[in-house]
Amino acid sequence: MYYKLNSYLTCALIILFISGSILAQKQQPVIKKSIYYGKSKPVRDMPVVIPGEHPEEQRVIKNFMLTNKELKVVKEKSDRTKPAMQNKQGPIKGKGPLLNFEGIDNVNGGYPADPNGDVSENYYMQSVNNSFAVWDKSGNLLYGPVDNKSLWNSLPGPWHAIQWSDPIFKYDYLADRWVISSMSFNFNQELYYEMVAVSETNDPLGAYNCYVFQFDYVNDYPKLSVWHDGYYLTYNMFEYTDTWYFQHSLVMVIDKEAMIAGESEITMIQFEMLNHDLDRFFPIASDLRGINLPNDSPCYIVTLNSHDTLNPWFISLDVYEFITDWDTPENSGFEQISQFDVGELEPIIYFGPGAPQPINQYSVITIPLYMMYPVTYRTFDEHESMVCCVTIWDGNTHYLKWWELRKEDSDWYIYQGGNYAPDESHRYQPSITMNANGDIAMGYTASDEETFPSIRMTGRRSDDPLGEMTFMELELFTGLNYINTYHDLYDQNRWGDYASMMVDPVNDTTFWFTNMYPKSEATLGNWGTRIFALNLTEEFASVTAFAGNDTVIEPSDYIFATNGEATNYNALEWSSTGDGTFLTNGILNAKYVRGNQDITDGQVQLILQANGYEPGSFATDTMTLTIDTETGIEDLESNALELSVSPNPSNGIVMIRANTGIDKKVILRVYDTKGKQLFTEEIVTKAEQYTRQLDFSLKGDGIYYFRINAGEQVANGKLVKVR
């Protein structure tokens, strides 16, 4: 469907209808400076803060929708016209991901997860609340997870002892740098900060120029976008006394060239959203992708808006332009340039009724009407494009609404859009992007009364019929249980608050996606994340499974961590021939607790089944776990490699040392007593001795284990953590 003429007419009518003409209004920018600067050590040389549960005053605060300006429900209203829906699957069957691997799970003991990440020439970097990790582009974990606050250890200040939340990790392909942001705040002290750092090189484990920006209100739900002339951030601003009072939405830009140069003071230019007495659901700045630069064009801001003062549930899609003038910041401009009618929507209170899930009586928060991250911008030979999406509640189900906006000579118009609901399941919190071919991929969560929250995706090619997601929905990873993240304010389970679909800058076509899923255990905060690399291709590949090599352990090793492998799968299940149990299941690195009969028998078979993307397809494989009192992990310590941990016992900070030799590939892994892998580092040594400082201050008292590999040699150690 082609909307150019209709959208122009709609804009003209709206302009005539709204008194004072929103489009003509203009405001002056607010110019501020960063309040602190520090250069970090290279990340690989920093003391590693092992993620754990933060003190109460430092825990994640859940995002709130406005509480003093809830949109009224209009009792007298005309029949609501339901938009045309895509109520069937696309005809194209996709191959499935090139990569599908585990991301960071709930290492900080909080929620929501806020999973996001980006990809560069050599790395994928992911962040959650409140930790980050780095992989190579084959899915091998190189570093992490590490607490996000590690990066700002170089900046002495109050932000170390207060709450951190809502991290965003981005790769700026124009500058070949990594840029990271996170909010930091304390209500009682009325301290509200945004921490922003940019890498010194293209190495995500190198040094960073770190800055602090301060606000008068709580700078909630920050989103970071890359543009050719700056880093743009958007917020919902709240005043907090005994509750949250929405003030306005805020858009700002910071001087990225000055940040990259390591200048001690950085300028930021701010604008409040126009007519902020009208409720805005959340703006996001366009995120630049591709090799064709937009010729110094302004950065565009996209948001939904309640544009009808008589019926606030008539919603519009609004576009603003942010014109930045770094030579004279006071000359910068911000104004609304387009407004498109979305129609009348079903009224909701707070985040609406949520999506159902099995077993648990509490639904899953879907965050309808919030513009989802990112809003991707590209310049093609004959037009500019932006793609964006939201979740919509229609009174019966949640569906995905998406748009592609285009601009050729002058004004933006809606080139195409769709309402994706191919069956009765609820779909929510999408992330959408476009590659260099003009292909669109959209990832999201789906659940219903019989389906645990699961990660899915769809997509379309540039020349497919307009307004349709032509690829058959693909379940990338099946949820393993109900999500248990109950929040009493909404009487629902928290989810998201967002996911992240990005494009590989090397070929500018491969999509990289991360989202959360519920893990097999039903404990509070039972979320994990997955990371995918995928192309929109029709080639089909069969599912494979490898349970791992046969392994010998000793009876004292009561927990065994599997090392399975699988390809082209969306679900995994481990089983055994013995009487032991799996502490965790549904992942390649599951935890098996051997039973007494396993010891009596001397061995047990562990069986891995992987289910494929093709319905009904699966693969299985078996490995033998031998329990031998004569052979075990301690025998590995007889080789020449030695590992020391000091001080031991310790109340937090320890130094790991191993005589690895120069130019050795070294892998350090840290585990707890349940076999959970807490930290990994892979590095090539530059000295005879490998050293690493680890900070266990956020972890509870107990025993922690270390294993270091240097070439063919292995050494083990343990730490007793005490207060």
Q: What is the domain partition of the chain in residue ranges?
A: 4-534, 544-627, 642-721
Query: What pLDDT is attached to residue 614?
Result: 83
List pLDDT tens digits, range 631-647: 444 444 445 789 999 99
Q: What is the pLDDT of residues 515-569, one digit of tens each?
A: 999 999 999 999 999 999 999 988 778 899 999 999 998 877 778 889 999 999 9
The one-letter amino acid at 257? E
Which CATH fold topology does 544-627 show? Immunoglobulin-like (2.60.40)
Tell whether the model's pLDDT for residue 308 goes beyond 80.
no
**Which of the residue ranges 134-148, 345-359, 679-693 would you say has the lowest mean pLDDT?**
345-359
Q: How far apart are CA 17 and CA 216, in angstroms?
A: 35
The larger pLDDT score, comparing residue 413 to residue 296, is at 413
Per the prediction, the chain carries an average pLDDT of: 88
Tokens 């921490």, located at residue: 195
Cβ–Cβ contacts within 10 Å for residue 84, how many?
Answer: 11
Confidence at residue 158, expressed as pLDDT on a 0 to 100 scale = 83
> What is the pLDDT at residue 275?
56
Query: At CA 173, angle to CA 50 and CA 458, rounded to 5?
Result: 80
Res 286 pLDDT > 50: yes
- CATH hierarchy code of domain 642-721: 2.60.40.1930
> Which of the pair, 347 or 67, is modelled with greater confidence?
347
Interior angle at CA 460, CA 457 and CA 465, nearest 5:
140
- 69 pLDDT more than 50: no
Greater confidence (283 vs 82) lies with: 283
Q: Rounded to two decimals, what is the model's pTM?
A: 0.90
Give the CATH number of domain 4-534. Answer: 2.130.10
* Measured distance CA(671)–CA(455) in Å, rounded: 28
**Residue 151, pLDDT score:** 81
C-alpha to C-alpha distance for 292 and 174, rounded to whole angstroms = 11
Encoded amino acid at 185, one letter: F
Structure tokens at 53: 């549960």
- In angstroms, rounded to a whole number, what is the distance separating the alpha carbons of residues 178 and 123? 11
Q: Which residues contact 44 (CB under 8 A, 6 or more apart)?
A: 143, 205, 206, 681, 683
SS3 state at 149: helix
Q: Tokens 């294993």 appear where?
A: 707
Residue 578 reports pLDDT greater than 60: yes
544-627 and 642-721 in the same fold: yes
What separation in angstroms does the CA of 40 have from each of 45, 57, 120, 522? 10, 25, 21, 39
What's the maximum distance between 2 C-alpha atoms anywhere in the chain? 86
Span 264-269, average pLDDT: 97
Residue 26 has pLDDT above 80, yes or no: no
- Cα separation, 347 vs 344, in Å, equals 9
Report the 10 Å Cβ neighbour count for 646: 10
- The pLDDT score that the predictor gives to residue 634 is 43
pLDDT value for 24: 45
User: Is-contact 694 144, C-beta < 8 A?
Assistant: no
